[in-house]
Amino acid sequence: MDKAQVMEKQTQILRDIFDSPELEVTEETSANDVDGWDSITHMQVIATLEKEFKIRFALGELQSLKNVGEMASLILKKI
């Protein structure tokens, strides 16, 4: 799996969670860019990503992430 494939899966997950089929997601997309992305939905995003990719994130890993691209890179390291 490469970063483009991870980004594609992340995009679909975010579209599903935020019920926004047209949501545009780039590597620079952050929680501030998506309406309704708050702490509760953030937990849902993390849980869904862990389930989809069969990985677990450590709290310290998540605190330093700035955007979806950095999340994709972290996912790639873990799979």
Whether the pLDDT of residue 59 is over 90: the answer is no
| Confidence (pLDDT) at 63 | 87
Q: Is 47 helix (H, G, I), strand (E, B) or coil?
A: helix
The arithmetic mean of pLDDT across residues 32-56, rounded, is 95
Q: Model pTM greater than 0.85? A: yes
3-78 CATH, one of 3.50.50.60, 3.40.50.620, 1.10.1200.10, 2.40.50.100: 1.10.1200.10
d(CA 1, CA 66): 22
Give CA separation, 9 vs 2, 49, 60, in Å. Answer: 11, 9, 23
The arithmetic mean of pLDDT across residues 29-55, rounded, is 95
pLDDT tens readout for residues 10-34 = 999 999 999 999 999 999 999 999 9
Q: Where are the domains of the chain?
A: 3-78
